[in-house]
A and B are shown apart, each in its own frame.
Chain A
């Protein structure tokens, strides 16, 4: 490695730090999902079925998440309805 490389490596916007940041976010997200109760997928499916009685939506349009805070859990339901 030349002397120029040495100093360049210190100042360059390192891609490894981008990788680390992205990983920290996705891993935290996936760990959160893992801790969700087993009934969640089934419940998501049933909610989807109910909504489908009235509106034509697909699987990806319903997003259910359980957020655990210190004192309580919040069930968050997001449904994207199609444009009309």
Chain B
């Protein structure tokens, strides 16, 4: 299903190509894989044919988070080396229709990804997918640069903490200079801030940077705020993207972020401490 209007790409190309989304951060362990799994699943749930690609060569984890680790036969590098076709390597998700996963290789060296190889795979996928979500490795070196080079949209995953914010700013610098879009003189990569592991109580106590603080510094539009939540660990234990658990705040917050990515106007939730009882009444609510 392809419901998008032909954009800039549509005018040049005959067919409507997939939109390529990179989930990136610079700093490690901030929630890129968790977010890639959630966003990819969310897009598929909205009816878009979506592939999530693990770019973390040597350290694949997306398969575990998606719960398909036992179904991996071929991987991204096998496809690049023409040892397998794309169709052989793509894993069809068992829970969500329209969703496919391309796992990273576990053992090969990081130089296995070449620019031409990546481009060939993305081109082939672009033909029959609506969205391609690229789960970037940590860092600002080659692997991370490869994951973001072909992107149309970047989701910059940031924790409300100094080193993560600084690294996000560095990634923004790369997004503004080292991408196919910049080099081709096209519109720049669309940048979105996804603030994760947010704790309103700690923000209120003055111990954690607030949403506003991070927005002030990075100065890019906010696509979502995912609260610090036990549900994320629980979901990863089960190999299920947390967005499928709509009972939880994290799951709901990811759904909101996907809706905003698709252009819906959705109010931000879970930004305030839930005040309760006596105190709430004393302060007049809210």
Q: Which residues of A contact B (CB under 8 A)?
A: 1, 3, 5-6, 9, 12-17, 19-20, 22-24, 26-27, 30-31, 34
Contact = CB atoms under 8 A, between A and B. Distances in A.
A27 B166 contact: yes
Interface string B201-227: 101111111100100110000000000
B217 A17 contact: no
A16 B209 contact: yes
B165 interface: yes
27 contacts: A1-B273, A3-B279, A6-B279, A9-B204, A9-B206, A12-B206, A13-B206, A15-B206, A16-B207, A16-B208, A16-B209, A16-B210, A16-B213, A17-B206, A19-B209, A19-B213, A20-B209, A23-B162, A23-B165, A23-B166, A23-B217, A24-B216, A24-B217, A30-B166, A30-B169, A30-B173, A31-B169
A27 B169 contact: yes
Contact of A30 (B170, B201, B208, B273): B170
Contacts of B205: 5, 9, 12, 14
B173 A31 contact: yes
Interface of B: 161-162, 165-166, 169-170, 173, 177, 201, 203-210, 213, 216-217, 273, 279
Given A20-B213, A27-B169, 15 more contacts: A5-B205, A9-B204, A9-B206, A12-B205, A12-B206, A14-B205, A14-B206, A16-B208, A16-B209, A19-B209, A22-B162, A26-B166, A27-B165, A27-B217, A34-B177
Contacts of A27: 165-166, 169, 217
Most chain-A Cβ atoms within 10 A of its Cβ — which of B169, B205, B213? B205
B279 to A, nearest CB: 7
Contacts of B166: 23, 26-27, 30
B207 A15 contact: yes
Contacts of B177: 34
A24 B177 CA distance: 21
A36 B206 CA distance: 36
In the A-B complex, the 10 residue pairs with the closest CB atoms: A14-B206, A20-B213, A9-B205, A34-B173, A27-B169, A19-B162, A16-B206, A23-B217, A16-B209, A23-B165
